[in-house]
Amino acid sequence: MEICAREHPPFLTGVKRVTAGVLATAMLVTLTATTGASQAAAQSDPRAARSDALGVALFGASPGTSGVSLPSSGGSAAEAPPRVDCRRVKCVALTFDDGPGRYTDTLLRHLAKYQARATFFVVGSNVVTYPRVLRRTVAAGHEIGNHTWSHPLLTRLPASRVRSQIARTDRAVKAVAGVVPHLVRPPYGAFNRAVRRQISRPLVLWSVDTLDWRYRNSATVARRALRSVRPGSIILFHDIHRTTVGAMPRVLKTLAQRGYHFVTVTELFGGRPPHVAFRAAPPKKS
Ligand code: NI
């Protein structure tokens, strides 16, 4: 699986492998039972297919059945009952990391045009730099997730600093926008058992990686998103890149034409995301 955000120093290559290894050891036993959908995906993007298959293997029985107790505080729009039933219709969760930033407002306009809801995994230090942007994001009905205060590699931090990275961001989001994030996305997608113990909320990874931090070209970003998306996908973008925001009109238009509903991560899982989420199960055929 690919790792989120920013150019990565060479040492992170090892981290990716370690992370994938941890996941593989813990979870991948059933992965050989690949679904038809992910076999098809494998032809276009083996890595995305692997992530998708992992999600299906872990959480495929039915979305929303693996119980987690969400914090009751917050009052974000994401707490409202899901508007669509993703067990019955095609859903996709667009997720945007590392903001808010200077291009986020433009992204909000693109999303509004399609009545699309998305999930923003915000960095606390950017929240205090762009407070009004975050307020507009919440007001538009999007879900806010916690992406730590300063984007460190959590697997290298002591437990107390893992907790403070999350708590400080929670406080900033609450102070600025009046909501508390119910979801966490660890920077670079990197976590282990020690990190997991410090974070009781769902950890949200992704099943489609656009690598938009590497491909600073809107057409490429759109193509990478569109070729791997499946019902139930969680797509990783970064709204700190102009080229990513520039890709969104095409992504939204094409997916809308394909019949997708654009939902928040919490909606994608029927209001109850699992402890570790890569994607949701596709809708049942009726
Ligand atoms: Ni990130």
* Residue-by-residue DSSP string for 84-139: S-TTTS-EEEEEEES---TTHHHHHHHHHHTT---EEEE-HHHHHHSHHHHHHHHH
Residues with CB under 5 A from ligand 1 (ion): 4-5, 97-98, 187
- Establish whether 97 is a catalytic residue: yes
Rounded to the nearest angstrom, the distance between the alpha carbon of 146 and the centre of ligand 1 is 10
Please, what are the domains in the chain? 75-277 (3.20.20.370)
Task: From first to last of the 286 residues of the chain, give the pLDDT tens digit.
Answer: 334 444 333 333 333 433 443 443 333 322 323 333 333 333 333 333 333 333 322 332 233 333 333 333 333 444 454 579 999 999 999 999 999 999 999 999 999 999 999 999 999 999 999 999 999 999 999 999 999 999 999 999 999 999 999 999 999 999 999 999 999 999 999 999 999 999 999 999 999 999 999 999 999 999 999 999 999 999 999 999 999 999 999 999 999 999 999 999 999 999 999 999 999 999 987 6
- Establish whether 238 is a catalytic residue: yes
The first and second tokens of residue 160, run together, are 């107390």
Rounded to the nearest angstrom, the distance between the alpha carbon of 5 and the centre of ligand 1 is 4
Residues sharing a CB contact under 8 Å with residue 156, sequence separation 6 or more, in sequence order: none
